[in-house]
Amino acid sequence: MVVLAIDDDTEVLESYRAALSDAGVKFESSTDPKRGLELVRELAPELVLLEWQMPQMPGVEALRQIHNQDRRTSVAVVYDQETVETVVEAIREGAAKCIAKPVSPEKLRSLVEEVKELANQRTRSATLEKELLQLFNLEGIIGRCPRMLELFDLIRRVGPHFRTALIVGETGTGKELVAHALHKISPRRDRRFAVFNCAAVVETLFESELFGHRKGAFTGAHEDRVGLIESAHGGTVFLDEVGELSQAVQSKLLRVLQNQEIQRVGSTQPQRVDILLIAATSRDLDREVKRGHFRADLFFRLNMIELPVPALRERIEDIPLLYRYFLEKYNQHYGKSIQGISRRAQDMLISYPWPGNVRELENTMGRACMLARGTFLDVGDFSAISERIAGDASNLPCSLEEAERAAVVRALDAYPNKSQVARVLGVSRPRLYRLLEKHGLKARAEKENHQSVSEG
């Protein structure tokens, strides 16, 4: 454990050093607050003893800069004269302790032991978080809310047996991950997994890309070409955004499913193929069938097994698990050592509606990790999200206070009792009661709880 003291009085620093000489810590000090801040960046101390009244820099400014670098650091503010204003200001800015001079060796050693225990708790918490990520991870899909656990169970039951499956969900929810999971659990896990994005191919090339063509079948067909379905013989084909297929291609795809054969463009000879077919769509195919835009017989073939993937706003309790997963992923990708996300940034991430779903969250975390300068992500590292929140004041909270209140309201609306609400928000029950009191939501919480009891 590293203890750093910043004080312009060398005698005070020496007294700290003597008191902690046998405390099992590494002690560093500086009489210059600017150099002290450099040491915070270099050493990442667990505890900083900060003199509040230094002529070179106001204590409040030093405290802010320390927390901007690493919000895990416990800062004990040391002051000469005890005034309510000093204590209130320091606590408001995030100080862990406010200690009046002179600081006795006993008090100093006691403080160090408290911070050691806090550091041990954080280590245990980090270990538990990694275990949670492993426990609630199915082939790269992260989730622990009831709907995701139901999806995991369905994937496990369907994977060994399916011939066709339809994955439905909004753009960015992770439909391709679900398709990969189905393939990896299937008996064909060691064979090819071929992906075809129906929304990314020009309509005139659909047939050639999927089924292949013979030499001379059309202008530019200079040689025979194997289509994607034929190339995946014995494996799995994943058709993303299948609702974009033309009626003509839908008809040929139906033949593949019914007869397990394809016919290359320009050929009169059908060829046998043996594939598993997984389709995905962000459209309401049932409605498309009623409109005449999608073949009913093909829809019923694909829809033998339907796997719905919930939107991220419908699984807000998974957001902390997801951002921890992406934090670890992009730490490795960018060679960073970012340790976590500040509480106020977490509140903002939970309250944001995520129209782009998990894909948007991943891109947001990737950008924040790539550009971050410190070892802790804060609101400023998520400027794109905070700007969107501020830019839509009619629907979204535009301040951190409102973001916090919005998160509590959403949790109250989604869950019937306070224990679940506290668990989703990641706070203790006493902390939840303080939030309810702070935002004037006690009456609402009692009403929700009464309704859930009555319905039960």
Instruction: State the DSSP string of 37-76.
Output: HHHHHHH--SEEEEESB-SSSBHHHHHHHHHHH-TTSEEE
Residue 285's CB: how many other CB atoms inside 10 A?
Answer: 22
Q: 55: number of CA atoms within 13 Å, CB side?
A: 2
* 206-217 confidence digits (pLDDT tens): 888 899 888 877
How far is it, in rounded angstroms, from Cα 369 to Cα 71? 16
State which amino acid sits at residue 274.
Answer: D
pLDDT digits (tens, 9 = 90+) for 159-198: 999 999 999 999 999 999 999 999 999 999 999 999 999 9
Instruction: Name the packing angle between helices 442-455 and 429-438 (round to 10°).
Output: 120
Amino acid found at 297: D
Q: Are 71 and 376 in contact (CB under 8 A)?
A: yes
Cα–Cα distance measured from residue 266 to residue 227, given in angstroms and rounded to the nearest whole number:
13
Q: If residue 119 lies in a helix (H) or strand (E), which one and from where to where?
A: helix 105-135
Distances (CA, A) of 388 to 320, 368, 397: 20, 15, 10
Domains in the chain, CATH or no CATH each: 2-120 (3.40.50.2300), 141-308 (3.40.50.300), 316-455 (1.10.8.60)
DSSP string, 150-202: HHHHHHHHHTTT-SEEEEE--TTS-HHHHHHHHHHHSTTTTS-EEEEETTSS-
| Confidence check: pLDDT of 396 > 70 | no
Average pLDDT, the chain: 87
Please, which residues have CB within 8 angstroms of residue 312's CB and are 6 or more apart in sequence?
172, 173, 318, 319, 322, 354, 357, 358, 360, 361
Helix (H, G, I), strand (E, B) or coil at 376: strand
* pLDDT, tens digit, 9 for 90 and up, residues 218-236: 777 778 888 899 999 999 9
Q: From CA 217, how far away is CA 266, in angstroms rounded?
A: 5
Q: Is 30 in contact with 73 (CB distance < 8 Å)?
A: no
From 53-62, 188-197, 250-259, the region with the lowest mean pLDDT = 53-62
Q: How many residues does the chain have?
A: 456
- Whether the pLDDT of residue 393 is over 50: the answer is no
Residue 272 host element (H or E): strand 271-272
* Residues 321-372: tens digit of each pLDDT: 999 999 999 999 999 988 888 877 888 899 899 999 999 999 999 999 999 8
Question: How far is 256 from 273, CA to CA, in rounded Å?
Answer: 8
Phi, psi of 361 (to 5 degrees): -65, -45
| Strand 225-226 versus strand 212-213 pairing type | antiparallel
Instruction: Give yes or no for a contact between 92 and 36, defined as CB atoms under 8 angstroms apart.
Output: no
Strand partners, 341: 377
Coil/strand/helix, residue 248? helix
H-only helix segments in 172-284: 175-185, 206-211, 228-231, 247-259
How many Cβ atoms sit within 10 Å of the Cβ of residue 300?
Answer: 10
Can you tell me the mean pLDDT for 419-439? 80
Question: What is the per-residue pLDDT for 324?
Answer: 93
Q: Please state, as a whole number, how many other Cβ atoms lie within 10 Å of the Cβ of residue 346.
A: 19
pLDDT, tens digit, for every residue of 73-107? 899 999 876 566 677 778 887 888 888 888 999 99
